[in-house]
Amino acid sequence: MSQEKYTVFVCADFHCTAKGEDGERSSISWFRAENYGKANLCPVTQLINYIKENRLRADIAICCGDLGDKADPEAANIAWKAFQALAKSLHAKEIFATAGNHDLDSRHLHNDYDARGHLQSLSPLFPVNKAKEFDRYWSRHFYLRYFQDFRILNINSSAYHGYKDEERGHGRISEKTLDAIESALNASEDRIINLLICHHPLQSQSELLQGEGDHVMGGDDLVYLLSEKLGQDWLMVYGHKHFPRLQYGRGTANQPVMLSSGTISAVPYAMYGSDAKNQVHLIDFDISYIKEHGLHGIVRSLEWNLQARWHIPRGNGGLGGATGFGYRASIPDIASEISKVVTPKARWEEIVDQLQAIQFVPRETIERVIERLDAVHSIGAVYDRHGNLFELARK
């Protein structure tokens, strides 16, 4: 049954710890297995409480992998239990997860030979509590699921971890898997929203000191298949980088929307600076708008830190409180549109009311638009005390 609006919850990279020295653990994750359920100590428990208190809802809940740090079995059990509780607090109708590099015991720290054995023994079944799809994910490295207006492709980008040692450093989609995905999609039913889930970035995401070479080998081929060969619009969500980012993928047509999820509870990498944020995301879709204009949406984020706990982020870093995707006009054209309604000034919320497509422009693009307005149209920006755009005015 179709509905007019949907919300999808996305989180990634719990990196829950259960063993080790305190100093080592405190540098890895805020989420310790023994603290789960303790609201004063556990950020995931705090998020569950925040969701309940603010009556947040999502139709679909997604975890993009890395439950426990270094495939620790006890930590994985607790993090999987915590994700189920998160989904329940959101009243999610469907739950999706996928395997991260830390979910596979590729270094055989906890087993002699079976890198995926503990993950496959989790209860409910990981990554999907349906035997047929569970078997397909682990044997063919992907499965397709339909949910109302969604066609969801869940890919195991960690499928080859535990074989050759060098596979640990990146994800991979084999040619056989690509062929199988193409056959499955050609035989599948169309849906209004195409959503892909995996753990590793499908294309290189190395800017701002994020490091190179850890993306999906074969990812470019998959993006080409989905976006150009099949000509479909896709939203692709993943984790791994601990770096919240929204961008468009490479390509000449139907460039996919790519959401790199922040880490829900791992200690952020200091080298990321102000972009080092613990964040989770809620993606809002309006089906009527998508039917008329193509894939558009709004990503709302929640952020955690030791002082404020979970809150709507303000100011710089991460994805901010909200960012859009789908409206792809050029920066000069967007600036020109906005300049026409700033007479002589206008509040940002008034501008968005008049130019509805502006809400679907990514936050980083809006920052470039503001620079263009200042340089070309002599329009300056006024920000509130939290660093959020408040008003535009002619100089």
Lowest mean pLDDT among 1-10, 51-60, 235-244, 287-296: 1-10
Which pLDDT does position 113 carry in this prediction?
Answer: 80
| Contact (CB, 8 A) for 197 and 154 | yes
Q: Which one of 309, 325, 341 terminates a domain?
A: 325
**In this structure, are 181 and 141 located in the same domain?**
yes
* Mean pLDDT to the nearest integer, 312-334: 90
**Percentage of the chain surpassing pLDDT 70?**
98
- What does the pLDDT look like over 242-251, one tens digit per residue? 999 999 998 8
Count of structural domains, the chain: 2
**Closest C-alpha among 135, 230, 120 to residue 181:** 230
* Residues facing residue 145 across a β-bridge: 152
Taking 90 as the threshold, does the pLDDT of residue 213 lie above it? Answer: no
Amino acid identity for residue 350 in this structure: E
From first CA to last CA, the distance across the chain in angstroms is: 52
CATH code of the domain containing 163: 3.60.21.10
Taking 70 as the threshold, does the pLDDT of residue 48 lie above it? Answer: yes
Residue 362 is part of which domain span?
Answer: 331-394
Which pLDDT does position 166 carry in this prediction?
Answer: 82
**In this structure, are 357 and 228 located in the same domain?**
no
Strands 278-286 and 345-347: unpaired
* Mean pLDDT to the nearest integer, 30-58: 97
| Contact (CB, 8 A) for 16 and 264 | no
- What does the pLDDT look like over 150-190, one tens digit per residue? 999 999 999 999 888 888 889 899 999 999 999 999 999 89
pLDDT band for position 110 (cuts 50, 70, 90): confident
Lowest mean pLDDT among 72-81, 111-120, 237-246: 111-120
Which pLDDT does position 24 carry in this prediction?
Answer: 76
**In this structure, are 351 and 335 located in the same domain?**
yes
* Mean pLDDT to the nearest integer, 36-57: 97
**In this structure, are 234 and 107 located in the same domain?**
yes
pLDDT band for position 106 (cuts 50, 70, 90): confident
Which pLDDT does position 208 carry in this prediction?
Answer: 64
* Mean pLDDT to the nearest integer, 337-354: 95
Which pLDDT does position 111 carry in this prediction?
Answer: 78
Between 212 and 137, name the one with better pLDDT. Answer: 137
Taking 90 as the threshold, does the pLDDT of residue 95 lie above it? Answer: yes
pLDDT band for position 69 (cuts 50, 70, 90): very high
What's the chain's average pLDDT? 93
Taking 70 as the threshold, does the pLDDT of residue 210 lie above it? Answer: no
**In this structure, are 216 and 94 located in the same domain?**
yes
**In this structure, are 257 and 292 located in the same domain?**
yes
Which pLDDT does position 209 carry in this prediction?
Answer: 64
Alpha helices in the chain (DSSP H): 22-26, 43-53, 73-89, 117-120, 131-140, 175-186, 219-223, 287-293, 331-339, 348-354, 363-377
**In this structure, are 111 and 133 located in the same domain?**
yes
Taking 80 as the threshold, does the pLDDT of residue 21 lie above it? Answer: no
pLDDT band for position 1 (cuts 50, 70, 90): low
pTM to 2 decimal places: 0.95
Q: Which one of 303, 325, 347 terminates a domain?
A: 325
Which pLDDT does position 25 carry in this prediction?
Answer: 75
pLDDT band for position 32 (cuts 50, 70, 90): very high
**In this structure, are 276 and 143 located in the same domain?**
yes
CA distance 226 to 232: 6
**In this structure, are 91 and 148 located in the same domain?**
yes
**Percentage of the chain surpassing pLDDT 90?**
80
Sign of CA dihedral 361, 364, 367, 368: negative
Q: Which one of 272, 296, 325 terminates a domain?
A: 325
* Mean pLDDT to the nearest integer, 181-205: 95
**In this structure, are 173 and 301 located in the same domain?**
yes
**In this structure, are 223 and 368 located in the same domain?**
no
Strands 150-155 and 142-147: antiparallel
**In this structure, are 245 and 348 located in the same domain?**
no
Task: Find all residues with CB under 8 Å of 297, minimum gap 6, and list them.
Answer: 235, 257, 283, 284, 285, 286, 324, 325, 326, 360
